[in-house]
Structure formats: structure tokens, C-alpha cells
A and B are shown apart, each in its own frame.
Chain A
């Protein structure tokens, strides 16, 4: 401790440091809120840090704790309108207005709340246990010159920790030293972004030696860095040791959640702890989406409210009219407001409330909780566990991240799909290249084969080449292999080409340093494909140190000679989506300075040195040719640098690199300065193969009436070809192409007048859209109707999305069965999605795998992420994650369709059973002088929803199947019912309502009419409660049998639940009428025994449900027979 305190004096000289003010305030002991700009951390000095009151390292992801659980949980529950409604009804039922005792409404509400709260508590408990496990895992922390095992939760900002191989980082650490030479370590970030390749982190040179505890004790430093934020890939800060300010970058940051690989141990200082770590700041809530069916359900509930209101109004008016002193035996007088015949208005109003309480079961209280439970089980048990959606290769099962949208999957009409990684495999293979104006590579891509098939030309199936094929390399051209390139017309260009491939990348080699055994860890599969290509061409990249790349070059100086060449890497200008390029400045062993650059054709062409237009033209042609074959292209270029140009630039670069603010932007700007006057070498073409089963899946989906849009960043030719290859477009389709790649556009582009360009483009797009619309109309009228397809590129789309043209675009695209948008930005993807979502009001699904699809995934009704490949961002934003595009068939046609059917059935059944029940009450009201006398006993009414009719409907929500999984995939047309929403239209609801009215009339009047005479040979008569128990028995039996009638499949669970529910009623009524409860009225006491002693009971019990269900049965029979 004393040693640490010594560091204080060293800190006094910090006057020169820019951010002195904040560090000083801390030192003065005035605890102030941290300046928003940055935080200061004193490494290895707990006391100094204590003043800043950093948060501890224990994390809690729970929603509630012991004390807040009840209030907070209840609050959450009452945010639901239905629960709030029942709370109000419950309160109302405690007033004298109520015809029922409070138990009627309080009990079901309590049960519903209890179920919901238990579910919440259980989920929270699991989270809590998980947190505990994490918080109590141990880590070695430096204390008194020793490593001491400490639980994670005790960790504090500024502590020095030691993390061993394969260990997880307990907090965000500043990387100080590692056992590896050169202060590097390898980390796996799979928990953060799902990328499994290892990444390098490199400590600052100054801190390399702080490896042993003795040494680390001496470490005293002050870290100034940004405030905690959720950006995983940025970090800016400075480390101040011994009055020296050293810039810190993400390279020195080890994030919590990552794990250490290939390194014995590392030493780091804790910077961000607990909830302030980047990964915790990143754990965003699952976006809550509500399904359209649920919204429609709200409308239904609203309609029920209206019905309820009308019923109550009718009853209230009736009561106002009825009330009269002439009924002397009812003793209407002023003593009770509700029965004051002098004030009919008040009577009506109070009766209105009475009736609301009485008819409250018309709103199905348990509906939401039941539907939620059903959906939860559907998603966790069925979707997540479906073996046919399990991808063995990537070991990924399907994952439903939200259970809200299951039935939405059954109604999808538009699918927006990303191309790369979604339709295609994202397994890149180096396929062709063009060097110095010469095309190499003889392979025929899948897409070319597809093209050939459609033009009818026959292409000889390619002979399997003798070259050893490996992952990422599918290239065969003897002209380049084994040093043969030396004999090509342009060997210098070839050499540069290969060197560029071997040097300009951020790939990590792993494993043995031999060509056969080495494995490349790359951020993207393209990169590793390129490096693998270089290896095969004889430029074997085998080792990387932080400053050097080692390449084993063959055949360079003369054939057969192998030499290891170290290239010193001076700067790496990294790839990002705005730059669309990547550069490396390296120094040859002979001192030559070269900048190698590779990137998208557009950005590279902008930065080429003038001259040699012939090469540019030819290469551009090749690029287009590659693109047409569905290949991904990259341009390679280089620039020779003189040392003074480099030195002056490097200064600026270092400055930019150590800036605290806007570092990214400044780096980009500096990079611009040197990435110019490039010399084109050539271009590469990488094949991205289609995923397994994609064409079949797309065909199935389009037969199911789903329209598929492909939104891709690729070139138009690539996109169209992919569309052909996956059978999205075929030759019989009429294609409309709206492209900005016309000569007229290019001409204006060259003039460079942006305003004119915009105007022209808008005009062009408008005319094109108009023309296409007209043609589309003609095609639609013509017989036979041919299918239409629209292809549009990003620039045109930009103008077409303009509000004035949007409608036209929408009209056109609605008529097309396939739409391909190419060269679109992530934002445009989202715009197109919401265009269809809002404009056409159809249900949309977006599927994608990369970060660029996130906006699209969030914009659509249902977002599906492809898991297990490019990263986790798409999955994190999605509602469902599947491993392969083809699993969409199962997800939509099987699970979606079933869920939709089931939920529709559940909802309509709930509607029906509660309406039937309430209507019997309603009919009774007319015969009680509109007094609001209840027909059923309190307990009957309260348990009706939660016990006597609850379970079977859940069973139907889980097990009902109209057709088997294989059949529904075989006949995708079945899916169209969902798109048309055939099972939850108002017509369906009206049918159910009709039968509910009919049945309630039968149930009520049949029972009442048949029981108003002596019912056995002893001549005795039934009373009110005998009749009501009879009626209730009939209702329970009828409603449960009706459920059995609507089942498509009946498992033993159906029998158990239906039989169980009816049995539960009888058991209940036997017990209930057998005991004397301490209350004023034992209406039901012994009633069931009286009832069951008569023949009448049994005959009525057979007759009434049969009569009630008779019409339903006829209806179903007729429907099944004539309208299957």
C-alpha cells in the first residue's frame, strides 16, 4: 500500500497534461460528478479511485429484487388494459351496487396475476442465479505483491488482475503485459459478436514488462479515457506513466465477455466494471414487437366493450322502467338509492354499474395470460427444439428470441432478404482474377451454370482439376500456378498482385507454420480466401508479429527458389463500411516503402493515378464480367512512397491516432491523404456459393403466396444472376429494370452537377415507373398472366422512395412477384421494408445475417437473423434466429402456420365461450325485472374462466394440427389462408358470435323452460339455484364439447383436459354444495344432490348440450362437405 501511495508524488507533475482539471478535482477530494467527457483511473491505487466512486464489478440483470418485486411486478401487470379493467370491476364488486360478491372477480384476477407473477419471478430467479454464478467466479488480483484469488464482484476500478489462458476477462481491462513476446495476446470475442476467429490485442511497449507481481507492484499509471459507452469497437484514452502521455486504442482494451487464447496469462488494469463494461452497456432489451393478430385482438376486445356497454345500457333502461312501488313485496323505497322508484335515473345509472359487474366475464380475463403461455411454450419447446431446423454443421438450433410473434409467422406475405450470408453461404472461394488486363481462372460459377441452363446452352461439366482444392480456394489456371506466372506478359504486375494479397490484410495465422497445417483467422471470409490464394500462388504468409509480416516467397527471383521475406508493417488503415477499402503501408527488407490497397471498385477507381486508361477500361470490363457471373470483386492497387512523403504523413497519422475526440473521423481523413495516386494491379473475384436448398425454399415460399424481395449491396448483374440462380426470377417472367447505369446518367454524372443529376434522375425514375406501371397493367390483363419481376438499383431507389413517387413504386412492386433491389444501403433496406409495411399494410419479414441488415430486421414485422455466421448483430436484433435460409420453410410453413391456426382458434374460442356464458346471464336479466340478479353462483362464475374452461383451450393452442408438417410443406398453398387472415376475419368472429348467441339462447331457455314444472314424481319444484346449477352444468359441458369439435387432431391430452374440466366442475360442485361456508347465503347448499336425484337432470344434461351443439355440428358438417 505504501508503495502505491508513492505514486501520488509522481502525479504532481501532470500540469502539462491536457485534462488536468478533472484529475485535480479528484485529487482534492471533492467528489464531483465525473465530467461527461472522460474518466480518470489510477491504476493500482484503490484509495485514489475510491474518491471517484466507480461502480463495483458485480452485475445484476434481474428486473426485481425482494422488495420491489411485488409493487413493480404488479405495476407491470396492471399496465395491461384487461387486468386494469378487472381491477376496476373487482373494486366495483365490493360496492353494494354489485350483484355478485367480490370473490367473483377478485379470484380470477388473483389467479391470473399469480400465474403471471410466478412466471416473472421464475425468470428473474434464473437470471439471479446466473448473476450469482458470474459474480462469484474468481480472478487473481494483485494485492501486496501477490496474486490473490478474489471473486469478480469484489473487483474495483484500478485493480491489477491476472487472467490465465482460456479465462474470461472479468471487466474491461487495459492490457498491460502478456507472457507472449511483443506484448500481444489473442482473444476470442464469440460472446460479444459471435465471431470465432481470434483477434490480436497488443499492449503498449512501455508496459510490456509488468508481468511478474513484483514488477507490477511498481506500476503506477493514470488512465484517462472516455466515459463508459456501448460501442464495442471504439475506445480512446491516454495512459500517463512517468509524465509521459501514451495514446490508448481499442487494441489495448480487453472487453469483459471475451476470453484469452494462446497466451499463458496477461496482466491488465481494470477500467470499466460491472454495468459500465461495454458488453453490459450493450445488452439492450429485446425490442418488443406486437403481432398484428394481437392488435386485431385489441379491436375485438374493444368491440366486446361496446357490446358490453350496449347490454348494460339496455338493462339499465329496463331497470329504470321496471321499478315501481306496485311490487310491494320488493319494498322499493328511499332507503336504498338503487331501488328508489322516485328517482328512476339514478336507478338506471346504478343498475348500469351493477350490470357491468355482472357481465364482466364477457371480456375474457385469462385470454392474455393463456395466449402468452401458449406462445411461450410454442417458441421455447417447439421452435427452439425443432430437429428439422437444427443445423448440424454449425451446431445451431433455431432460436425464438421473442415469443410474441409466433402467429405472425403464419401470415407473412413479403420477405425481404439480404443476399450475402443469407441466400448464399458466405463461404468465400477465390475463383478468378484479372491481373494487368488479363483474366485468369477457368472455373464456371454456379450462377453461370444457372445462366447457361436458362439460355439452353450446354456447358461441359468442368473436370475436377488436379490442383489440391482447399477451403477458400477454387481456382485453376496453370498460367499462374507454381511460378508459371513468371512467363506471363506481365510478371511484375503478377508479383505485386500476389504481394498485395499476402500483405494487405489483418489475418492471423494459427497452428503450424507449414502451408498444409496453417489456419487463417480472419475477420471476414473474403480475407482468408485471398490470403489462401496468395499461399497457393507461392506467397505463403506464415507469421505475423505486431510490426512484421513474414512471407515465404517461392519462385520470385528465379524458379524454384524459396525465401522468407519479412515485411515491416508501418501502418494499417483498416477496413470499414464507409471507407470500403483497406490499406497497409509496409517497408520491404530493401527499404522500399509501398502502400498496398484493396477495396471496392468504385473507391479504388476514384483514387487511381491518371493514365493507363486502357488497363482501367479492360479491368472494368473484367469486373463487370465477374459481377455478371455472380462473383464478388475487389480491386487491388499499390503506391510507391518516398520516405519524406511517408514521414510527414506518418506524423499526422500519429497525431490523429492519439486524439481523444473523433479519432475515427480523423483517422479516415488522414488515410485519404495517402490513399491516392494508386496504381491499379488488377482485381480478384470470389465466389460466394448459394446456401443449400435455397432455390427449393424460395420456390416453395413463392408457391405459398409469399413475395420475396432481395435487397443487396451487390451490383445489379450479380444480383440478377443470384436471383436467377435461386429461382426467384425465371425466363417466363416479365422483368422491369430500373437502373441508373445508363449512358445518359453517366454523361450527366461526368459533368458533375449534382443538382442537375438529381433532377434528371428523378425525372428518369418517374418516367420509368410510369412506363412500368402501364406495362404491368397490360400484363396483368393479358392471358395467361405472366409473373412480373422488378429490378431496381440503389440510386434509382433513392429517388423512387421520394414521397411523390413512393405510391407509384408501391403499386408497381405490389404487382410483381419478385423484386430485386441492388446497391442499396442499410438505410434503404429499412426504408423499403417500411414502405411495404406501412404503405401496403402487409405483414413483412426481413431476414439477414449481418450488421447491415439490422435496420431492416427491426423495421419489419418479423425479423429473422441467420445465426452462426457473420456475427451476432443481426441475431441480436432479430425475433427469430435460424441457421440456414432454407429453414424459413419450416419456420413459416410449419411453425408459423400452426401457431397462427392455433392462436386464432384459441382467441375465437375464448371469445365464444365467454360470450355464450355472459349471454345466458343477459337473457336472465330480462326475467328478473332488470335487477341484475346473477344467474350463477359467485364461485361458479369466478372459476368458469380459470378452472372449468381453462386447460383445454391451452391444449388446443399447443397441440392442434390441421395438417402434418410434411403436408404443409408439400402444399405450401395452405399458407395463403394465413396471408388472407382467413381465420381471424370479422366474418369468422361473426360466425362464432352467431353460434354463441344461438347456444346461449338454447342453454338458457331450454333449461329454464323445461324446469318450471314439477320435475319428479314427488311433485316438488326447483328453485332458482337448482335451475342455475343445471344451466351452468350444461354450459360447462357444452363449451368443453364445442372445443372438442373444433379440434383437428385429438391427442390424449385433449381427452384429459376436456374430461378433466368437466370432471373438475362436478367434483367442485359436489364439494361446494356439500359444505356449509360461513356466509349469509348458502344458495347452492345440497343443490347438486337435489338435482341429481331427478331423472330430469340426466335427460336435460343429454339434451341441452346436444341441442346447443346441433347447429354447430350441422354447420361444420356442411362446411366440411361442401367447402373444405
Chain B
């Protein structure tokens, strides 16, 4: 119909010959990346010789990191010699009792010389900071903007206090803020921990407001963790900022502070811990970590090892290919290797 009625007669007499274009004739210039044995080998050799050095440098950097890890949750609580369940309950009672003094002193020996800055971390295991209910329980607008303090969507059940006044900062993440504290003694001389600048700069300058002050925080009967000084704006509360950048895995480290002096090998460090934070109900572990860093960051063998593994595997395969190639060379494009020239498949 379409070519029929209206279209003029001349159009049907016109040549219907398609016009030539490299696109329609599918003759676009192209190069064929044929994986020739040579190319494959070259690629593997290249991978090997670039990855192994990267891996080695990573490993050596990681090796230069000195870190000290001390798990203290078990030892910083009185032992109860009753059946496990009862002991468990007693521990919970102990940790929840705000009136008891939960100071706990740990003694650590520096294995190697640690150059400053030395970073102090706390590490929690089996703590699901990445749980869906937990992750979404925050309101960035409220944290950033003082006029948005009533915006507590998603913050349930820590959105408002019993008087329906908004909690700032709202949400479960802030509510469960870690509240163990550490102070260090070197040879019984206090070793200061610098708690400045432990949060990411972007959090300080952009995500948390400099004029948003904590309000009604931990004012309800159930207290999840640390309290906040209501006279310090949120973006100055570095501990909170660190905590609020929720971890990806249930086992995570968070920066606590920095030691700005070097520690010599075999020096004895005393850690005075206020063991406040409750990980006992869910049997989570708490660890105290001090570590130096290098250009790759903290102790992290993983990348280095993988680099070396991949590089090594590449070299190995390259060698394997070369030896196979030498044993039974095969000219490329030999049609006798094409499937239909071999015996037809058994099926």
C-alpha cells in the first residue's frame, strides 16, 4: 500500500539498488585481535614482569608496617565461674552497670621500632555495621543542616526522645557510638593520643554541619553507647564521624587517634582501657590496635600477594605455553586443525 497510491510512478521506476556505505556493507575497518600463541605469551610475560615487582613492593611496604593487636574484651571483664549461660548474663549485667569502674590495664611490648605517626585503632568483630536496618538508620540532612533537625526519617527507633523532641544526631548508628576509651602510659609516663584529624576531611567539611549541635542525645532510658558533648558541633566530634562512616564488613577497624612520638623496640606500653562498650551480648570481640603506616596504608599483605600470585601464574603459564609451543609447534591458520577437518565429533 505504502508505495502504491500516493507515491508517484517515477519512484517505482527508480533503481532500488542500495547505496554503498561501509556501514551497511559491514565493511567497517576493523582489526582482528587474534590470540596467537605469541600474543598470548607476550601478554602473560608482560603481566608477570609488571605484576611481580608491584606485588613485591606492596609486600615489602606491608612488611615495614609494625602493628600490635591486643584482644581485651575477655580479659577486661571479671571471670564468672558458673555455667556458660549464667556467666553470659552476669557479664552483660556487668557491662551495663554504669556505676562500676570498668578500668582495665593491658601491658604491651613494642616488637619493633615504631616511627610516628603511630595510629591507634579499635577493632570490632562480629559487629554488623552493614546491616540494612543499621545502615539506613541515619539522616544526613539533619547532620548537615541545623534547620533540618526535625528531619528524622529513617532514624526510627532513635528519631525522637520520649518528649517527641528530635534527637540530634538521630538514628541507630549514632546511638550505638563506640565508647571505650584508651589512654597510654610509656614507662608510667602518659603518652598523649592525638584525636584531631582522624575523620575524613570530606566528612568534616561537607557531611556534618559546623553549626549542628548534639541535642537530646542518649536521653532515653536505653543507652547504646557514648554520649556527646552538646557544646561541640557535630563536625568536630571526630569519634562520631569515624563511627558514622559505617564499615563494609562485620569485622572492622576504626581510627581512634595518633601517637606523635616514636616507640622504641621492647618498650613497654600500658593501655588503660575504660571498657564500656557492650559487645558481650552478641559475643563480639574488641581489639586494641596500634600500627604504623606506609604509602600503602596499614598492614595489608593481600594486594601484594595477589599481585605476586597473578604475576607468577602469568609467568608460569607463559613458560608452559612456550614449552608446549616448542614441543609441538603449530602454524597458525593450519586448516587441518579446524574442527570439521578432524574426525567428526562422536555425537
Interface residues of A (CB under 8 A from B): 59, 61, 99, 127, 130, 133-134, 137, 152, 166, 168, 170, 190-191, 256-257, 259, 279-280, 283, 324, 326-333, 335-336, 339, 354, 381-382, 384-387, 390, 392, 395-397, 898, 927-929, 931-934, 959, 961, 965, 973, 976, 1006, 1008-1024, 1026-1028, 1047-1053, 1076, 1078-1082, 1085-1086, 1089-1090, 1094-1096, 1099-1100, 1102-1103, 1106-1107, 1110, 1113-1114, 1116-1117, 1120-1121, 1123-1124
The one of A1017, A1081, A1100, A1106 in contact with B295, judged by C-beta atoms closer than 8 angstroms, is A1017
A927 contacts B250, C-beta separation under 8 Å: yes
- A1033 CB to closest chain B CB (Å) equals 15
Segment 231-254 of B: residues with Cβ below 8 Å from A: 242, 245-254
| Distance in angstroms between the alpha carbons of A898 and B25 in the assembled complex | 13
The one of B18, B117, B250 in contact with A929, judged by C-beta atoms closer than 8 angstroms, is B250
B54 at the interface (CB under 8 A from A): yes
Segment 1-51 of B: residues with Cβ below 8 Å from A: 1-7, 9, 12, 15-21, 23-26, 28-35, 37, 40, 43, 47, 51
**Chain A minimum-CB-distance residue to B158:** A331
Residues in B neighbouring A1011, C-beta threshold 8 A:
248
Residues in B neighbouring A1049, C-beta threshold 8 A:
30-32
| Distance in angstroms between the alpha carbons of A597 and B30 in the assembled complex | 64
B176 contacts A329, C-beta separation under 8 Å: yes
B1 contacts A1110, C-beta separation under 8 Å: no
Mind listing 26 A-B residue pairs with CB under 8 Å?
A170-B5, A191-B5, A257-B4, A280-B1, A328-B278, A328-B282, A336-B133, A382-B26, A385-B19, A387-B25, A390-B18, A1008-B248, A1010-B300, A1014-B291, A1014-B297, A1019-B293, A1020-B255, A1021-B242, A1027-B248, A1049-B30, A1052-B29, A1080-B141, A1081-B140, A1095-B295, A1103-B306, A1124-B339
B25 contacts A1107, C-beta separation under 8 Å: no
A390 contacts B17, C-beta separation under 8 Å: yes
- B324 CB to closest chain A CB (Å) equals 8
**Chain A minimum-CB-distance residue to B199:** A1020
- B301 CB to closest chain A CB (Å) equals 9
Residues in B neighbouring A1099, C-beta threshold 8 A:
54, 58, 296, 303, 307
- B278 CB to closest chain A CB (Å) equals 7
B2 contacts A130, C-beta separation under 8 Å: yes
Segment 284-321 of B: residues with Cβ below 8 Å from A: 291, 293-300, 302-303, 306-307, 310, 313-314, 317, 321
Residues in B neighbouring A1110, C-beta threshold 8 A:
310, 313-314
Q: Which size bracket describes the interface of B in this complex?
A: 35 or more
Query: Most chain-A Cβ atoms within 10 A of its Cβ — which of B19, B281, B303?
Result: B303
B53 at the interface (CB under 8 A from A): no
Residues in A neighbouring B91, C-beta threshold 8 A:
none
In the A-B complex, the 6 residue pairs with the smallest Cβ-Cβ separation, listed nearest first, are A1023-B245, A1014-B298, A1019-B119, A931-B132, A385-B24, A385-B18
| Distance in angstroms between the alpha carbons of A1096 and B97 in the assembled complex | 43
The one of A1012, A1076, A1082, A1102 in contact with B248, judged by C-beta atoms closer than 8 angstroms, is A1012
| Distance in angstroms between the alpha carbons of A1080 and B2 in the assembled complex | 55
The one of B35, B127, B131, B255 in contact with A1019, judged by C-beta atoms closer than 8 angstroms, is B255
A61-B293 contact in complex given A390-B18, A1019-B119, A1107-B306, C-beta closer than 8 Å: no
Residues in B neighbouring A327, C-beta threshold 8 A:
128, 131, 281-282
A1006-B24 contact in complex given A134-B5, A1022-B248, C-beta closer than 8 Å: no
B94 at the interface (CB under 8 A from A): no
B136 at the interface (CB under 8 A from A): yes
- A1111 CB to closest chain B CB (Å) equals 10
**Chain B minimum-CB-distance residue to A1081:** B140
B164 at the interface (CB under 8 A from A): no
A168 contacts B4, C-beta separation under 8 Å: yes
**Chain B minimum-CB-distance residue to A962:** B32
Which of B79-87, B200-208, B209-217, B260-268 lies on the face that meets chain A? B200-208
- B184 CB to closest chain A CB (Å) equals 16
B132 contacts A933, C-beta separation under 8 Å: yes
**Chain B minimum-CB-distance residue to A1027:** B248
A330-B310 contact in complex given A973-B340, A1016-B293, A1095-B295, C-beta closer than 8 Å: no
Contact with A along B139-161 (1 / 0, CB 8 A): 11100000000010110111000
Q: A166-B9, A190-B12, A330-B172 are in contact. List 7 more A-B contacts (CB 8 A).
A: A130-B6, A134-B5, A191-B5, A339-B133, A390-B17, A1014-B298, A1022-B245
- A594 CB to closest chain B CB (Å) equals 42
Residues in A neighbouring B251, C-beta threshold 8 A:
1012
